[in-house]
Amino acid sequence: MSCLSKFKIGVVLAIVGVFSVATLLTAFLFIPKTPVDAFKSVDDSNAVVVGDIWNSSAKAFNGANFQTLLNYISSNGTISGVNTNEQTAQDIRGYTYGGKDPNKSVVVTIGNYKWQVVYLTRTNNTSGDRIATLLMTNNDGTSRYGGSSDSGSNYGPNDFTNGYPTSMYGLSYIRAYTLNNGGPYVEIPNNSSNPTDSNIVNINKSASHKYSLYTVESQGLTQYLVQPQDVWYQTEAQLTGSNNPTNYTLNNESLSTTINTGWSVSNTYQTKNYYTEWGDDYLWLPSISEAGARDSELGIWELSTTERSASSNWWPRSGFYLYSYHVAYLDSSGSGCINTRVNRTNGVRPALHLNLDKIVESISSNITALSNNDSYGTVLGGGSYLNGTTATLTATANSGYKFLGWDTNGDNTPDITANPHTFTVSGDATFTAIFEPPLVLIRTNDPNLGKIIVNGQVVDSAQLQQAQGTQITELIAFTTSGSAFLYWLDEATETMYTDNPLNYTVGSEDTTLTAVFSSALMDGIAVAAQNGGEARISGYDDDMTTVHLTAVAYAGYEFAGWYTYGDNQLISTSATCDLPLSTVDNKLLIAHFVPKNTPNSNPTLDNTGDQFSP
């Protein structure tokens, strides 16, 4: 039986005759057709409880605790995963992301109170900022609908003729004083039977009030709260159908001034001049259509009986006028909405709208993750994070490259070598992953014995960086005087190469490639070969006036001649020859090879792969 049905019963009783207050109250305390569990105190064991998300001293949100809240009300732990398609308390109980028990509601601590997340939507339903509607989990003290204080028994007689105004919540003492919203309220003086506009009292918000955190702008929290006048379902005309599951047509169900009062009254005070006074409040009482009356009429938020329950009766925003019965309250006996008179003392369970998007914006930092060269490697983990939460950055080198570390100050030098790198976010930051090709240091074992030619330049040493698998071509080693070239040594792999010139394939690690010279032979020349063969100093005559040279062709090639490096003068066309040392002293001789017209295996000259030392 709805509150409207009870109103009809009251009318019948009034028509039958004049009844005492006790008789009417008994008539209004009806027995529902089906059993309904009595309201009970909210038990934290039936909820996942999030720690305080607000830091009062810093006047800012705690990012880590707010992230925990997002884990419980989001499909992916981020603001983008918050489903704002009118998610009810019943829907939220079923969420499982972040390990949440699907049978538990979500309760969050803000200041000195705990609040249940009872609704998720947007300010105008389909767009706008995401909002979470929170309901205080338990009754907090007691209050009356009219009067000049929270205590005492004299708020006016129980049976004044026209009683409480039809705009009751907009001018209620609860709204202005108990919830610390300030503004006007109707004071019902002793022995008054006809409250009028002359009974309106204006008060200011108090910074020392127990609810000042939620209502006083200087506390900092209110800038993240959404006022009812900006929430779609609280601004609609009389809510009907799916938007009003309880189907009550009571005053103050919404802010719309077109809502039907449902009753005809004669007193001049019964106007709607102050009907929407609560539209800019930060803290407000729910309506019966929002909180629901019983399990058969869950309301917009779809609270369970336990979630609607409290240790004692509590005031909703809804109310109506009928003789001396002026407001509705939610009854701890489980009977649902009950009609009562103005002076009844009940608890308050206020609600508020929390702007999730604005909170995320206020406590988020941008973590920028870059690669020093996108062709060298990639990075993951950059994005927007809540301060106080952890971020993890991962660098992945492309094939042929290696990761050195993270540059955090823009000097292109690694400051952090951990990979992945996990840290606590405290502000905007940029991390650049430093990738490099392997480093090849090319040098001689002794620059007094020999030099090297790298990229056409004669040097003692050179440092090159190229990707793994690429080739460094035409590396040439040549002696200065009184020495001989022996081999190239790759120190990373401990491999020796006798090719000269050498085409070196870069490996996966940094290495040093050394041209090894020896002073054991007193020659002043060096030999090298083009592709297709090898060049060798095979010895000297006894008086060290003649040098013996040998050129060895690979399969498919034939020897074309000895030429001096630089001026490319032909010295000899014989693969094996003896040359005066005075002619070739301090020169680099190049053995040239050309492909054979009819390739064969060159069985007597094919020495491919030999390790040769003069």
Question: Of all residues in the chain, what percent carry a pLDDT higher than 90?
Answer: 35
Tell me what the mean pLDDT of segment 389-416 comes to. 93
Question: What 3-state DSSP class applies to 368?
Answer: strand
Residue 160 neighbours by CB under 8 Å, 6+ apart: 188, 192, 193, 194, 195, 324
Q: β-strand 336-340 against 325-331: which pairing, if any?
A: antiparallel
Structure tokens at 584: 């070739």
Query: CA-CA distance, 380 to 369, in Å (whole number)?
Result: 7
pLDDT for position 96? 92
pLDDT at 324 over 80: no
DSSP string, 230-258: GSHHHHSSS--GGG-TT----BTSSS-TT
227 Cα distance to chain centroid: 26
- Please name the amino acid found at residue 352: L
Residue-wise pLDDT for 66-94, tens only, equals 999 999 999 998 898 998 888 999 999 99
- Inter-residue contact 341 to 325 (CB < 8 Å): yes
More confident residue, 249 or 517: 517
pLDDT in tens, 203-244: 999 999 999 999 999 999 999 999 999 998 888 754 544 445
Nearest-angstrom CA–CA distance, 383 and 216? 34
Query: What pLDDT, on the 0 to 100 scale, is given for residue 533?
Result: 79
Does position 389 have pLDDT exceeding 90, yes or no? no
Greater model confidence, 522 or 448: 448
611 pLDDT above the threshold of 70 = no
Q: What is the mean pLDDT of residues 570-591?
A: 86
List the Cα angle 221/222/228 in 5-degree steps.
140
Overall pTM > 0.85: no
